[in-house]
Amino acid sequence: MPEQVIQEITNVKTEGGSAFNRVIRGIMPLIGLAAIFLVFYILTDGKLVKGNNVELILSQVYTLMIACTGVFLVMTVGGLDFSQGSILGISSIVISYLSFYSIPLAAVAGVAAGALIGVINGFVHVRFKIMSFIVTICTMFLFRGLCAYLTTNAPVAAVPGITALNALLWFKLLCTVAVLLIVYLAFRYTKLGISLKAIGAGETAARFSGIRVDLMKFIVFVLAGAITGFAAFLNVVKVGSITSTSGSQLETQILIALVLGGMPISGGVKVRFYNIIVGTLIFVILNNGLVMVGLDAAQQQLIKGIIFVIVVALTIDRKTLRVIK
């Protein structure tokens, strides 16, 4: 159906969107986080926050939250990146290989590998004007295939000593906070944020306002790749060796986490940086809680799927709904 029709139909419903609605929409993710926390706190008799489990929850947060930070930028301009899982896989393999020479070098190389895939994504998207979700689905398959090839005979193992870093709680926490902080400051206090939001809200008008739209879109994909490349470093630190399925499904986890955190799928000016943090926490607590309550994997999938659909239906901004770039 032509998009104007959708707009015509939906305009009518949303134009009454009052200030009250906007406030509710703004704090809804926080309410969601509190609700999910409370539900599982009660269902698990408080075991949710006991000793080991907090550490477990946190260990699931790091990689996801860092990767979300990059995709947050992509989604702000109205794009999507489905190649995230493959980026994590490839970068993890690169890191593992190089960890035998030098661990810092391996980390840098991981970032570079991620950025390189981002360059491919961004270049194809911008140069050939292909929608980003199509481009990144293609690269997802491409690099997933490469991952599988490189791990055909055996998992790729990193230098054994690398997992020692895993024991250092502050190290992983520090890395995560550092990435969040740097991106936050850049987003909030430089022209990056306002430019990306403007592109998401209206690409043509952004171009006519002097924003280098193509360049910004390219940069965003490179950043998303690089940031996930860094997340891969923490991933290697955590698991020590890489199999062909490392990082698979990461892209959907990111997407779900961000949307649960209140991120509008079409991007634009209504994105908020806290969407990353709240969303990741909701997602991880939900995951963890469902396991603790004793549901099997299939049931967990089912429940997560239902929650996702409900949240999208409740929060999607129909007024700005367009084809994802």
Partner 1 sequence: MGEIVLQAENVSKSFGITRAVRNVSLSFNRGEVRGLIGENGSGKSTFVSMLCGIHTIDKGRFLLEGKELKVKNQVEANRKGVSIIVQEMGTLSGLTVAENIFFGNEDKFVKYGIKNTTAMNRETSRLLEKYGFSHINASTMIDHYDFETRKLVEIVKATYFNPKIVVVDETTTALSQFGREELYKHIKRIKEEGNTVIFISHDLLEVINVTDTISVLRDGELIDTVKSCDVTEDELKRLMVGRELGSHYYRTDYGEAVSGEPVLKVEGVCVEGHVRDVSFELHKGEILGIGGLSECGMHELGKAVFAASYDRTGKVRLARGTEINSIPDAIRHRVAYASKDRENESLVINATIGDNICLPSIDDLAERGILKKKKMDRFAKKYADMLSVKMTGIGQFVSDLSGGNKQKVVLARWIGKDSDVIILDSPTRGIDVKVKADIYALMSELKSKGKSIIMISEEIQELLGMSDRILIMKDGKINGEFMRAPELGEEDLIVRMV
Q: Does 4 bind partner 1 (CB under 8 A)?
A: yes
CA 181 from centre of chain: 16
Question: Which of residues 10, 47, 138, 207 is near partner 1 by CB under 8 A?
Answer: 207
284: Cβ–Cβ under 8 A, 6 or more apart, which residues? 57, 60, 61, 64
Report if residue 198 touches partner 1, rule: CB under 8 A. Answer: yes
Q: Taking CB under 8 A as the rule, does residue 211 contact partner 1?
A: yes
Stretch that binds partner 1, among 12-20, 87-95, 145-153, 223-231 (CB under 8 A): 12-20
Smallest distance from partner 1 to CB 241, Å:
42
Instruction: State yes or no: residue 268 binds partner 1 (CB under 8 A).
Output: yes
Q: How far is the CB of 252 from partner 1 (least distance, A)?
A: 27
Output DSSP code: residue 47. G
Distance between start and end Cα atoms, the chain: 18
For 58, counting Cβ atoms within 10 Å of its Cβ (0-12 exposed, 13-18 middle, 19+ buried), the class is middle
Within 10 Å of residue 156's Cβ, how many Cβ atoms?
21
The residue among 154, 168, 59 whose CA lies nearest residue 103 is: 168
According to the binding rule CB under 8 A, does residue 212 interact with partner 1?
A: yes
Is residue 323 a contact residue for partner 1 (CB under 8 A)?
A: no
Residue 19 binds partner 1 (CB under 8 A): yes
153 burial (CB, 10 Å; 0-12 / 13-18 / 19+) is: exposed
Q: Indicate which single residue of 108, 269, 303, 324 sits in contact with partner 1 (rule: CB under 8 A).
A: 269
Residue 191 engages partner 1 in binding (rule: CB under 8 A) = yes
Count of residues of this chain found to bind partner 1 when the rule CB under 8 A is applied: 31
Helices (H), ranges, 240-321 = 250-260, 274-293, 297-315
Nearer to partner 1, 65 or 211 (CB): 211
**Which residue in the set 45, 154, 189, 323 belongs to the binding site for partner 1 (CB under 8 A)?**
189
Distance (Å, whole) CA 309 – CA 171: 36
Mark the segment that binds partner 1 (CB under 8 A) among 90-98, 139-147, 188-196, 304-312. 188-196
| CB nearer to partner 1: pick between 17 and 161 | 17
Scanning 33-41, 93-101, 104-112, 195-203 for contacts with partner 1 by CB under 8 A, the matching segment is 195-203
Could you write out the DSSP letters of every residue in 136-198? HHHHHHHHHHHHHHHTSSSPEE--GGGGGGGG-HHHHHHHHHHHHHHHHHHHHHSHHHHHHHH
Using DSSP, state whether 15 is helix, strand or coil.
Answer: coil
Q: Enumerate binding residues for partner 1 (CB under 8 A).
A: 2, 4-5, 9, 12, 15-16, 18-19, 189-191, 194-195, 197-198, 201-202, 204-212, 268-269, 319-320
